[in-house]
Structure 1
């Protein structure tokens, strides 16, 4: 069956449900999305999960793919959290679910699953969305849609998705709702949050009861992101003084999307000097073709322990999500399945049409709206490093009301944190661009603190008073 016919079928089912205006029709559509046992799953789980498509534009046939996991315990009492990855053009299913915060992770054979002991659905109901069309399994019957994506339409379609999704899952209407994600989702998340706030104000309803959002290693402002990046890799000794100067001169005011030719040449020199490391996680092994699962060691509670770290998780996802039996289990009909599923779409990223140079103005707007906003940063990321994030936060000119200091987990420093008026900043020590991949336990602790609205603890000492004394003495 063609994509057009499948889309028409989906639209017809929605129309029938709307015409009947009966709970049974809506619930049956939800039940059709329920996922049973997955290929490669040799263990039982104590939560329900669902996957499928939601049409966001019936005329053009745009539909977004989602995968939703109920909380492991008492989902009716837990908030709903939407997770978004960036790119633009990268899959939240391929990254967020399969190697970061989701319950099902993929073994190196690309065919077998294992249960993530630090899955975020232990404390919340987690919804993964592949947006925009052209990402993951999300599709459009209008081929030109893949060439006209951008920030504005992504926010519009994602809002439409949420409004339609809660019709399919009506128990989440008005449920406490949060958004989290990383990287280019540093644009998606505040933009979607802004769209939700405006929709609620216009409608007078809180169908999507947005309470706050959390962004990790996210793009916030092109100038500060660039400045912080070049400074970070220079201070680590990855590039020469000359290249550092060249980058500031040729790329200092460049956007992250569609950089100029002269800036691209400077970036090529940068990459050659950096060498074959994983810039998303600069202190861990890079994925090589013959690489097997590697072991890294770290100290926990004073003892040295081993933990598995696999730098090739993207390769495993590419194998798994291209399996026909996996696509069938996730309710992706043959007529809708892409010819080749990939973690990121070059077509989407290369044809991105609008990307504002900064979203800091949206931060101010949403801080004034009273949303809970947390920004976190893995400090081993050379793509959107901690220096970039700190420059962007400084540019917001927010007042601070807590001392800057460490937070602890298992007796060790997990990172550092600073509370601002309207925003909480947290670093995660030793984590790369994908914080939950490199520091899963710390990431879950961070997420729990965010949901509770309580800042991660710092030592009970007189940091502020000592600072004040030193400043007055000087």
Structure 2
């Protein structure tokens, strides 16, 4: 009778689209196009974060740890931008795969964080990746609305994955996640004080190349350029003194800073002249992420034509960040991910270049 009962229960779970571990089997990814065989599962889908008719939904990608899944912590990864896809960024940063040279398949990421943790990538805010709303005003957002929506997402995601509720939780990210992650961490701790049931077992945060305050970030960046000898000490000293007159509270990239002429020249142009005699905006932007190595020498058009992007500089694959933009726009990839359920033509993928 006990065996018979377990048999019926399993079938009931399957009929409801729920696995025996409580995971939603409708979100299970059978296999991504061009993916090598692996011993862990992947899930992707939508979490509706409103109870009304707005249709506000976050897209997520969940990857189990390579081993001892049920005892590993959960790490949430949020990419900055603002507006870059965290799911897309997974395939050029801490996720289990990176794209092949022609961006039509996948290789294992030797440095994936799922070697030690379960991973959750969230397309955030609304409008990033496949996250969307049926209400146009939802696309106008700031740090406060983004934080509140992420808290709701986490609450509802745990309802979908109940066996992960008690796990140690870590929040991590890059770029504008310097705002997303601390804001979310504080909000989750506040939610713990107000809730008698669900408690977020938050253990820590990690930020990589974060945007914190615009003034401090820029000054630190050019401190680095100076240590590389890209700016002479005299120019550096004068400009650094001049730039220190800027309002320290001006840290949003969309706000115009009141640079003086000397500071503007120093901040925006001078260091890149040491890399490239002919000013080039693509070359300049690439140097924001790697001041030493030469950038990828290909583009999306090359991938469309079937070419491979193979630029390696000082042992580093410099095209890693570009190729997911192509891979995620392949129809078979979107189908495998259960993504773009609105069949929208405006959901391009923005990953750091």
TM-score (norm 2): 0.79
Q: Residue 316 in 1 paired to residue 318 in 2?
A: no
Q: Residue 282 in 1 paired to residue 274 in 2?
A: no
Q: Residue 77 in 1 paired to residue 71 in 2?
A: yes
Q: Residue 149 in 1 paired to residue 158 in 2?
A: no
What residue is the counterpart of 1:188 in the other structure? 180
CA contact (8 A) 1:26 1:167 kept: no
Q: Which among 87, 102, 117 is matched to residue 109 of structure 1?
A: 102
Q: Residue 328 in 1 paired to residue 328 in 2?
A: no
Structure 1 position 249, deviation (Å): 4.0
Render the CA deviation track for 1:120-158: whole Å, top value 9, x for unaligned.
111111111111101111111112221x21111111111
Structure ranking higher in strand proportion: 1
Q: Cα gap change, 1:261/1:295 in structure 2, threshold over 3 Å: closer, same or farther?
A: closer
Structure 1 position 238, deviation (Å): 3.5
Matches for 1:130-209 after TM superposition, within 5 Å: 130-146=123-139, 148-209=140-201
**RMSD between aligned residues:** 2.8
Matches of 1:264 and 1:331, distance apart in 2? 50
Residue 84 of structure 1 aligns to a residue whose secondary structure is strand
Instruction: Figure out how many residues of one structure are paired with residues of the other and give that number.
Output: 312
Structure 1 position 245, deviation (Å): 4.8
Matches for 1:414-453 after TM superposition, within 5 Å: none
Residue 139 of structure 1 aligns to a residue whose secondary structure is coil
Structure 1 position 74, deviation (Å): 1.7
Structure 1 position 220, deviation (Å): 3.2
Matches of 2:15 and 2:189, distance apart in 1? 30
Q: Residue 35 in 1 paired to residue 44 in 2?
A: no
CA contact (8 A) 2:61 2:122 kept: yes
CA contact (8 A) 1:72 1:121 kept: yes
Unaligned runs of at least 5 residues, structure 2:
1-12, 273-282, 300-307
CA contact (8 A) 1:27 1:168 kept: no
CA contact (8 A) 1:227 1:252 kept: no
What residue is the counterpart of 1:343 in the other structure? 350
Residue 259 of structure 1 aligns to a residue whose secondary structure is coil
Matches of 1:39 and 1:337, distance apart in 2? 21
Q: Residue 63 in 1 paired to residue 57 in 2?
A: yes
Render the CA deviation track for 1:237-265: whole Å, top value 9, x for unaligned.
44444654554445765323323264498
Residue 215 of structure 1 aligns to a residue whose secondary structure is strand
Matches of 1:234 and 1:253, distance apart in 2? 24
Structure 1 position 81, deviation (Å): 1.0
Residue 198 of structure 1 aligns to a residue whose secondary structure is helix
Matches of 2:214 and 2:159, distance apart in 1? 37
Matches of 1:128 and 1:24, distance apart in 2? 27
Residue 159 of structure 1 aligns to a residue whose secondary structure is helix
Structure 1 position 229, deviation (Å): 3.0
Structure 1 position 72, deviation (Å): 1.1
Unaligned runs of at least 5 residues, structure 1:
1-21, 298-306, 345-432, 435-474
Q: Cα gap change, 1:237/1:129 in structure 2, threshold over 3 Å: closer, same or farther?
A: same
Matches for 1:280-429 after TM superposition, within 5 Å: 280-289=289-298, 292-297=309-314, 307=315, 309-343=316-350
Structure 1 position 217, deviation (Å): 2.1
